[in-house]
Structure 1
Amino acid sequence: MLDHLTVVTHPLVQHKLTIMRNKETSTAGFRRLLREISLLLAYEVTRELDMTTATIQTPLREMQAPILDGKKLALISILRAGNGLLDGILELVPAARVGFIGLYRDPETLKPVQYYAKVPDALEDRLVIAVDPMLATGNSSAAAIDLLKEKGAKNIRFLCLLAAPEGVARMKEAHPDVPIVTAAVDECLDHHGYIVPGLGDAGDRMFGTK
């Protein structure tokens, strides 16, 4: 079982994250790096997938070889920025089922408001990985996990690029059974609810919006 919080300190992850933090990095560069770093993070979040064996024939002889067991895992993108993490993970696990949860943060209350949800069936039988680049206040992430549990999910992990201590604490309080995998835990949130030093708004930087 993964720890509640896993920070991936691999040199390539940290190097790519530094380039993404730089405000001079272009939209195209940011998008490419996010895809690359998500693939690297996916190695960690899928480290303990269930395995079984199958009989195969190599060019030399028959053998019992390890393969993944159980239903295809489910990737759940927390819109819109979560979509930036999907590409890299799907390169690693192309057969994964994909779902989407639409949440936006009310700028006054910082509370999440749901506007869309469509997820794969049989979540109770799948490893479910919820993805969102930023774990800031943790309110949207906790709300997304609430919805996934209502849909039957029992084995859930949360993958993000950056986390704030406040978000990690909120998730641990709300969902202590959901491990978090991230590339870094930054200093704090500012009064707007942004991660500091952070990298700005991941969705805006990914899609070239303001």
Structure 2
Amino acid sequence: MTEHLTVVDHPLVQHKLTIMRQRDTSTASFRQLLREISQLLAYEITRELPMTRRTIETPLMEMEAPVLAGKKLALISILRAGNGLLDGVLELIPSARVGFIGLYRDKTTLQPVQYYFKVPDSLEDRLVIAVDPMLATGNSSAAAVDLLKQAGATNIRFLCLLAAPEGVARMREAHPDVPIVTAALDARLNEKGYIVPGLGDAGDRMFGTK
């Protein structure tokens, strides 16, 4: 992928996102829609995976057929909301290795605070896809990518449901080599650092918490 930001404007993505934005969408529906939309976004972010060929036997004959090349890719969930995207992507790529980065946003400074980090080995040999539904200030996302690079990752992509211009700019400044794939680029952040018009707190809506 070459573009820093890709907005997936597929009709199914946009329709499902509209339902997720509505305040009266239930927790169960929100969770299911997030799983569905994550698979459609994953289709886009994995479009240029490296391929090789191997010999297989069909019921009729032997042939050279395309298969994925290299080490299995790594999916990294930025906790806790990232798990909603992770589940859907894993259904599409069940052989992927999985890691977790625990970050929470300090409500006063809006800066990320790390509390957990466990990722697969050999990140330098894998495509690494970091997932988090909301790219808001971009501080947590940039910090997560910092940690992944420190762990050896060199080929990183970032998958989110919604992005704010401020978060995209922060990521472009900190990590211009990390492409972002999202379903929508919203207008702005409000004074509390939430994406507007957005859909509220993705984690709370996914898990039914406040």
Would you call these one fold, judging by a TM-score over 0.5? yes
Output the amino acid matched with 2:202.
A
Look up the match of 1:119. Answer: 119
Output the amino acid matched with 1:145.
V
Q: Deviations over 1:7-55 (max 9, x none)?
A: 0000000000000000000000000000000010000000010100000
In structure 2, what is the Cα distance between the partners aligned to 1:48 and 1:2?
A: 10
Output the amino acid matched with 1:111.
Q
Give the fraction of aligned pairs with identical amino acids, expressed as a percent: 82
Look up the match of 1:175. Answer: 175
Q: How do 1:36-185 residues align onto structure 2 when only pairs under 5 Å count?
A: 36-185=36-185
Q: Quote how far apart the aligned CAs of 1:87 are.
A: 1.1
Output the amino acid matched with 1:206.
M
In structure 1, what is the Cα distance between the partners aligned to 2:21 and 2:107?
A: 23
Look up the match of 1:206. Answer: 206
TM-score for the superposition, normalised by structure 1: 0.99
In structure 1, what is the Cα distance between the partners aligned to 2:2 and 2:180?
A: 8
Q: Quote how far apart the aligned CAs of 1:2 are.
A: 3.5
Output the amino acid matched with 1:136.
A
- What value does the CA root-mean-square deviation take over the aligned residues? 0.5
Q: Quote how far apart the aligned CAs of 1:61 are.
A: 1.0
Q: Quote how far apart the aligned CAs of 1:153 are.
A: 0.1
TM-score for the superposition, normalised by structure 2: 0.99
**SS across alignment from 2:152:** coil
Q: Deviations over 1:107-126 (max 9, x none)?
A: 00000000000000000000
Aligned residues: 210
Q: Which runs of 5+ in 2 are unaligned?
A: none
Q: Which runs of 5+ in 1 are unaligned?
A: none
In structure 1, what is the Cα distance between the partners aligned to 2:106 and 2:61?
A: 61
